[in-house]
Amino acid sequence: MEHDLRPWGEYWVLEDASTHKVKKIRVAPGGRLSLQYHKHRAEVWTIITGVGTVTLNDEVKQYLPGEVVRIPRGANHRIENAGSEDLFFIEVQYGDYFGEDDIVRIEDDYSRA
């Protein structure tokens, strides 16, 4: 199983197929992903534990365990963990390419934009 550490937490690839990719993602307390979009894929996030503060284009909303975020291809998005416990969610990617180089960063707390 592929595993990668990131400045905001870590992820595990649970499935990698030609039509989709599935990840389990942990965001540490105080961590947030870059504001980003993808040219080749859409994503669906399902919150497992914790509270995720999601930016989707110009809208910011909190998501609780069991709630689902649908992110269209090309939409600006990020998730933040403002809580005191780890945030876990499942990410399902759909599209024609799933490489990590399909992350176009707009803003990033860790100087990767």
d(Cα 95, Cα 38) in Å, to the nearest integer?
10
Q: Domain count of the chain?
A: 1
This prediction has a pTM of 0.95
- pLDDT at residue number 82: 92
- pLDDT at residue number 1: 86
Domain harbouring 98, CATH code: 2.60.120.10
Q: Per the domain annotation, does 32 fall within a domain?
A: yes
pLDDT at 109 over 90: yes
Contacts of 61 (CB under 8 A, 6+ apart): 53, 54
> What are 56-80's pLDDT values in tens digits?
999 999 999 999 999 999 999 999 9
Q: Per the domain annotation, does 111 fall within a domain?
A: no
> What are 10-62's pLDDT values in tens digits?
999 999 999 999 999 999 999 999 999 999 999 999 999 999 999 999 999 99
d(Cα 84, Cα 2) in Å, to the nearest integer?
27
Q: Per the domain annotation, does 113 fall within a domain?
A: no
From the list 40, 95, 46, the residue with the least C-alpha distance to 68 is: 46
CA distances from 112 to 24, 48, 94, 99, 105 (A): 22, 27, 24, 16, 7
